[in-house]
Structure 1
Amino acid sequence: MFRASYTAYPLTFVRPVGTSRGVLRQKPCWFIQITGEDGRAGLGEVSIIPKLSLENPDEFEIQIDHLCKLIGLGEMDPLQALPSMPGVQFALETAMLDRKQGGERLLFPSEFTKGNAGIRTNGLIWMGSREFMVSQVREKMKLGCSVLKLKVGALDMKEELQVLRWIRNEFSSSDLEIRLDANGAWDPEEAGGKLELYARYDIHSIEQPIAAGQVEDMRELCKNPAIPVALDEELIGINGPEAKRALLQEISPAYVILKPGLLGGFSLTGEWIRLADEMKIGWWITSALESNIGLNAIAQWSWQLGVTRHQGLGTGALYTNNISSPLQMSGEQLWYRPEKGWDLSKITVL
């Protein structure tokens, strides 16, 4: 028998960040704690991105309260499938793994958690004015980043192309890999032409150029040789190995971007990895703007997979009220510094 409790913990951005879905100033977050009869407890995080996550933030408090009561009554297995609530499934899986390992947030002990190795991570460039984006690029390059991911699709295209032109004048493709993320912002009719324009600047890949659910249009874009296409939002809500296989076969992307916090946790994300490897589709793992609780779990899981490509895990400094943790960015690598320890004092209601 387990006891489940939860608390809301809205995350506040250091500065408002721009995406094609709008400007984010705060992000909903809930922590779930699972406690066993032996007193050992594990902690997980539900990361919700409005307009992207399947869960509805306006109804979520009622739903999570009900689920925690069911777990406490023994009427629900914390590890049961929750296809309509992948963020909760991720949190519960994480909490159960944490509890199993002693409740010290060492879910996957490794050389990474010993502090002996880091994970290469892309630098994330948010949308904003040309000057703001250039300043972010300069900052990331000073830190030693060799891969940058730029959010595109919300600004005037000429401004975005000017930023890319400036970057390529300063840094060649041998010095800097550029990944783009449109978050589904482009119309299918214009996306092909835009790919051709952006391709002039030696772009490695573009995530989700058009909105999810337009399978035929996405398949045609993936045939365009200008820029390799990566699926991201397209994967959310696709359940079961056969449905996943069918989607990848239908669209045939170059890459898939894997966010365990939006895809239902590690076991279900692993299904995407196995299929991608089988079909020779590239992949990398990114956070879904989690706090350090969720980011820590994702980073530890990523390391034990043996990842070598740059992942998307450099989001720990986004919030003014993040949870103090051993995670630390150094250059372009994410490290776990065990001597730093955790400070969970901000999580007071569990």
Structure 2
Amino acid sequence: MLKASFVKRELIFKEAGGTSRGVLHTKPSWFIKVSDAYGNFGIGECSIIPGLSIDDNSNLERKIKDVCLNIDDYAANLHETLINYPALRFAIEMALLDLSGKKHLQLFNSKFVDGNDSIIINGLIWMGEPDEMLRRINEKLQSGFKCLKLKVGAIDFDKELQLLELIRNKYTADDLEIRVDANGAFAVDEAERKLHDLSRFKIHSIEQPIKAGQINDMRKLCEVSSIPVALDEELIGINEYETKKELLESIRPQYIILKPSLLGGFKASDEWIQLAEELNIEWWATSALEANVGLNAIAQWVYTKNNTLRQGLGTGQVFTNNIDSPLYLSGEKLFYDPHANWANPFQ
């Protein structure tokens, strides 16, 4: 028989996080502890992005309370009972994996958690005024990053092009890989032109150039785009295996981006990976502004996949009140120190 409890933490950004949906100063996460009759426990994180996560509604905390009160019922069939709560589903999946493991918050055994290997990641650059973004870019490059992901679509597009030109005048495509993420900011009738304008800067890929749900328009864009297209928000809310398959077969993107907190956890993400690989679509995983508990779980999971692309796991340092953890960055590499201790999110 299992027991469960939770605590909420409002995570505070060190610098305001600018996206095409607005500026974030804080975001919530709920930490859920699942215990067995012997006193063993596991912890999972339910992390949402306001305005994006399906779980982001007034019923979420009520649902978390219900799950904790009836944890045995939910744990037995979580991928069905929590189908409409992907972040909460991931939190319970995470907690149960932790509970079943031999060491606290080591969900997958590997050289990564042994401290003998690392994960190469990209550096995330929030949207902002050009001078501010350029400062952040220089900081990342001086730290040793060889791949940057820039948010685009919030400020004047010509200014964004000028910023990219400044970067490329200093760093060639051989020196620096640039990924951009539009978060669906481009209108359909201007997307092809904007992608053409961006292409002269030798962009690795663009995430979600137009809003999700415009299947035919996205398929056409993937066919004609001079920049490889990656689906991101397009995957959110797609739960059935056949529907996932139909989506990828219809659009045929070059890449898909996997955010387990938005997709429903590891089981759901594994289905996307299987389908993508069958269709020769490449993928990488990205954190969705989780605290270190969720980031840790995603990093351990993705390491086991032997994916050679840079992963989007550089969000561990964006909060002033994150959970102290064994995760640490050295240049563009994410490491796990097996001798370091975890802080208790319930204290």
Deviation of residue 57 (structure 1)?
3.9
CA distance in 1, matches of 2:103, 2:118: 23
In the superposition, relative to structure 1, how do residues 252 and 125 fare at CA in structure 2: closer, same or farther (>3 Å)?
same
**Residue equivalent to 2:204:** 204
1:234 is the counterpart of 2:234: yes
Q: Which residue of 1 aligns with 2:94?
A: 94
Given the superposition, is the C-alpha separation of residues 241 and 94 from structure 1 closer, same or farther in structure 2, using an over 3 Å criterion?
same
1:102 CA drift (Å): 3.7
Residue 103 of structure 1: how far off its partner (Å): 5.5
Q: Helix, strand or coil for the counterpart of 1:6?
A: strand
Distance (Å, rounded) in 2 between the aligned partners of 1:25 and 1:42 = 29
CA distance in 1 between counterparts of 2:214 and 2:346 reads: 41
1:64-213 mapped onto 2 (5 Å cutoff): 64-71=64-71, 74-77=72-75, 79-81=77-79, 82-102=82-102, 104-213=104-213
Is the 1:284–1:310 Cα contact (8 Å) retained in structure 2?
yes
| Mapping for residues 282-301 of structure 1, pairs under 5 Å | 282-301=282-301
Contact 2:195 2:225 in 1 (8 A): no
C-alpha displacement of 1:51: 1.3
CA displacement at 1:225 relative to structure 2: 3.4
Q: For residues 183-226 of structure 1, give each alpha carbon's deviation from its aligned partner in whole angstroms, at most 9, with x where no partner exists.
A: 11111111111001111100110000111111111111111231
Q: Which residue of 1 aligns with 2:280?
A: 280
Structure 2 unaligned blocks of 5 or more: none
- Which letter does structure 1 place at the counterpart of 2:310? H
2:346: which partner in 1?
A: 347
One-letter amino acid of the structure 1 residue matched with residue 85 of structure 2:
M
State the 1:78 CA deviation: 5.0
The CA distance in 1 between the partners of 2:289 and 2:113, in whole Å, is: 21
Please say if 1:35 is aligned against 2:35: yes
Shift of 1:58: 2.5
What does residue 47 of structure 2 align with?
47
Distance of 1:76 and 1:91 partners within structure 2: 12
Q: Give the letter aligned to residue 78 of structure 2.
A: Q
CA contact (8 A) 2:9 2:30 kept: yes
The root-mean-square deviation of aligned C-alpha atoms, in Å, is 1.1
Which 5+ residue runs of structure 1 have no aligned equivalent? none
Aligned residue pair count: 345
- Structure 1 counterpart SS, 2:306: coil
* Cα distance per residue 1:235-292 (max 9 Å; x no partner): 0110121110000011110000001111111111000001111000010001011000
Cα distance, 1:79 vs structure 2: 4.5
SS of corresponding position for 2:73: coil
Q: Which runs of 4+ in 1 moved over 2 A?
A: 56-59, 74-79
- Give the secondary-structure state (helix, strand or coil) at the position aligned to 2:300: helix
* Amino acid across the alignment from 2:214: Q
Separation in structure 1 between the aligned mates of residue 296 and residue 17 of structure 2, nearest angstrom: 22
Partner of 2:220: 220
8 Å contact 1:276–1:283 — kept in the other structure? yes
**1:137, distance to aligned residue in structure 2 (A):** 1.0
Q: Does the 8 Å CA contact 1:183/1:207 hold for their aligned counterparts?
A: yes
* Alpha-carbon offset, residue 28 of structure 1: 1.2
TM-score (ref. length: structure 2):
0.97
Letter in 1 for 2:120: R
Identity of aligned residues (%): 51
* 3-state DSSP of counterpart to 2:74: coil
Maintained 8 Å contact 2:192/2:225: no
When normalised by structure 1's length, the TM-score is: 0.96
